[in-house]
Amino acid sequence: MNTLFKLPLLGISMLGGALLVAGCNSAGTAATEVAGDAPSANRIAVQSEAKTDAQSKAQAQAGDDHAGEMGGMKMKPRTHTTKLAFSSNPNAIPVGQPVTWTLQISDAKSGDAVNDFEIEMTKKMHLIVVKNDLSWFNHIHPQFQGQGKFTVTTALPSAGTYKIYADYTLANAGQEVPQFEFATAGQTVTPAKVSIVPDKMQGMWLVNKFNAHPESEPDTKGGAVYEVALMPMPMPILAGQDVMLHFQIRDAKGTPVKDLQPYLGAMGHCVILSSDTNSYLHSHPMSGEGTMSHSMGDMKGMDHSMGDMKMNQSGLVKAQSGPDVRFHTNFPHAGLYKVWGQFQHKRKIITASFVVNVAPGQTQKSTGAADEATPHSH
């Protein structure tokens, strides 16, 4: 038997875990949204609700508590600590042209600007942008301007509705990930209507080919071709149960790539969205696979096998690695999910995407809880 199957599924850790959060949806070109706070286990679940702009603003100002669910267990309502206000210049977002977005982060109760952002995976904010049919994906990094304000200039490839997930961590409140929907110029915000089908297994792997591209420029053509394989373990994937996502990066001829370079302080990043776009998971590689520790002092007494990785003074991985990168996560509910894995080779980003089917877990089969809460994971 391949020794790979003997690897244990590690519990959530600082280096190899996933944060589960359900965000609230809002529509328009300038509105306010709220994120949930994160418990000490670095994993949260908040009930997902579709709201109008007015509801979102009112609840944002009130602190808006949400009830949630984690691993089939009910969670107490959580008080959100921050709110996000999104705007663009110009207000009507054109297609194919650079536009500057502003994301203002404020205290949910006082309205004061928030400034105590921690650096996570080398950035103060990771912004995931997707088209609401999941046909397009980008991972960008707004610049902090002070007084709670982040800005980024980016372009969208086609007309329609888009959704953003602003992923940041506060020094005293943990990780928060508000979601926000908007439409390009001349369009109206429409609910996600995703027609995705699971990728077919080739033996034990899902296999596709992808072109490398410059960071934050997924539409760039002509990059080197890579074959990326994904093996979920165990199979079938069951909702609410731990799963390992084992990626293997190969060149165009199928030869394993053994000199992957760290990307944002880790050997890879994995973003997962449910087909309704409400459940968002952002997972980092498992312990020992080239991850960054933002606070090495917090690891005292913890058994993390770091192997022979070389670390500089800031705690960033410098060693090359590959071809295998593994992520540990937990899908909150049954259904279809799209998985994006991002890796770096020769200073270009390989963004590999797959669609997987998650079957109902035992808790969902017995209680019918599949539709109660929609977690998000980082």
CATH code, 195-371: 2.60.40.1930
Is the distance from CB of 36 to CB of 78 less than 8 angstroms?
yes
For residue 80, CA distances in Å to 57, 105, 180, 303, 375 come to 13, 12, 16, 32, 15
Q: Are 10 and 16 in contact (CB under 8 A)?
A: yes
Q: How many CA atoms lie within 13 A of 335 on its CB side?
A: 20
Cβ atoms within 10 Å of 255's Cβ, excluding its own: 10
* Contact (CB, 8 A) for 295 and 274: no
Q: What is the pLDDT of residues 348-374, one digit of tens each?
A: 999 999 999 999 987 554 344 333 333
Q: Do domains 18-183 and 195-371 have the same CATH topology?
A: yes
The predicted model scores a pTM of 0.74
- Residue 137 in tokens: 């994906």
* HEC readout, the chain: CCHHHHCCCCCCCCCCCEEEEECCECCCCCEEEEECCCCCCCCCCCCCCECCHHHHHHHHHHCCEEEEEECCEEEEEEECCEEEEEEEECCCCCCCCCEEEEEEEEECCCCCECCCECCECCECCEEEEEECCCCCEEEECCEEEECCEEEEEECCCCCCEEEEEEEEEECCCEEECCEEEEECCCCCCCCCCCCCCCCCCECCEEEEEEECECCCCCCCCCCCEEEEEEEEECCCEECCCEEEEEEEEEECCCCECCCEECECCECCEEEEEECCCCEEEEECECCCCCCCCCCHHHHCCCCCCCCCCCECCCCCECCCECCEEEEEEECCCCEEEEEEEEEEECCEEEEEEEEEEEECCHHHHHHCHHHCCCCCEC
Per-residue pLDDT of 266-303, as tens digits, reads 999 999 999 999 999 999 897 555 433 332 222 222 22
Enumerate the domain spans of the chain.
18-183, 195-371
Report the CATH number of the 18-183 domain. 2.60.40.1930
What pLDDT score does 194 carry?
86
Q: Note the pLDDT tens digit of each residue in 95-136.
A: 999 999 999 999 999 999 999 999 999 999 999 999 999 999
User: Are 151 and 211 a contacting pair, CB within 8 Å?
Assistant: no
Average pLDDT over residues 239-263: 97
Burial class (CB in 10 A: 0-12, 13-18, 19+), 154: middle
Give per-residue pLDDT as tens, 170-188: 998 889 999 999 999 999 9
Nearest to 283 by CA among 13, 3, 101, 1: 13
Length of the chain: 378
Give the tokens for residue 59: 């609840």
Task: Identify the pLDDT of residue 173.
Answer: 84
d(CA 37, CA 45) in angstroms, rounded, equals 9
Sign of CA dihedral 58, 59, 60, 63: positive
Contact between residue 333 and residue 239 where contact means Cβ atoms under 8 Å apart: yes
pLDDT of residue 167 exceeding 90? yes
- Rounded to an integer, the average pLDDT of 49-63 is 33
- C-alpha distances (whole Å) from 249 to each of 71, 79, 228, 233, 347 are 31, 41, 5, 17, 15
Task: Give me the percent of the chain exceeding a pLDDT of 90.
Answer: 61
Give the model's confidence band at 337: pLDDT under 50 very low, under 70 low, under 90 confident, else very high.
very high
pLDDT bracket for residue 241 (50, 70, 90): very high
pLDDT of residue 172: 84
Q: What angle do CA 84, 327, 122 make, to 5 degrees?
A: 50
